[in-house]
Amino acid sequence: MRTENAELMRMARETLKGKWGLAIGTYVVYAVIIGVSSVIPVAPLIIAGPLSLGLAIFMLALSRGEDTRLELIFKGFNSFGNSLGAYLLMVLFTVLWMLLLIVPGIIAAISYSMTFFIMADDRNIGAMEAIDKSKKMMYGYKGKFFCLGLRFIGWGLLCLLTCGIGFLWLGPYMYVSMTKFYEDIKDKPVTAEVA
């Protein structure tokens, strides 16, 4: 039996106690870099992969109570080609599934959602191998992950009432909750092959 989503969220809040400032600051730096890079047409495609890997490295360290510093979000650039490849493949596969219908695209995106956590845990894994591992890892858990995301909708609406300032807390809270989700399912036995 896997941990309930409400418990994963409680664990995320516990992890963030005393570390909200670091988590918010790191998330803001990540968001600002992505936002500023969007001024140059292809820049987000080039840096989103390494930054996403770096954010996964940071969040795993935070979740595990390890030494956590803002600079960790730039560690993804040490695996630039691999993280770029993973990001581009994820975008490509998701877009191809979206061409069929929106729902298959959402399901595909959820299937690939653990890719950067997997790469953060195993720096030697290839992009396609990490995506395949994510698909296998998420087998039977896509609905649970989707429901975890739904639990933040109310929080998102409340953040709108704060003129968006609340998103400074919501972003890290969501990401640490997803990290706890990954930690919860990463060692589960694969019960079926995924195409």
User: Could you give the CA distance from residue 84 to residue 180 in angstroms, rounded to a whole number?
Assistant: 24
Is 194 a residue whose pLDDT tops 50? no
**Residue pLDDT, tens place only, 149-172:** 999 999 999 889 888 888 899 999
Q: Residue 115: exposed, middle, or buried by beta-carbon count in 10 A (0-12, 13-18, 19+)?
A: buried
What is residue 20's three-state secondary structure?
Answer: helix
Judged against a pLDDT cut of 60, whether residue 181 lies above it is answered with yes
- Computed over its alpha carbons, how large is the radius of gyration of the chain? 16
Taking the model in full, what pTM does it have?
0.89
pLDDT band at 39 (very low <50, low <70, confident <90, very high): confident
Q: What is the pLDDT of residue 190?
A: 60
Compute, in degrees rounded to 10, the torsion defined by CA atoms 37, 79, 113, 150.
Answer: -50
> Cα separation of 131 and 29, whole Å?
26
- Residues 51-96 pLDDT 10s: 999 999 999 999 999 989 999 999 999 999 999 999 999 999 999 8
Q: Where are the alpha helices (DSSP H) in 64-111?
A: 80-100, 102-111
Instruction: Report helix angle 142-150 to 5-16, nearest 10.
Output: 60
pLDDT at 1: 53
The whole-number average pLDDT for the span 136-144 is: 94
Structural tokens at position 31: 């968001």
**What is residue 5's predicted lDDT score, i.e. its pLDDT?**
92
**pLDDT at site 195:** 42
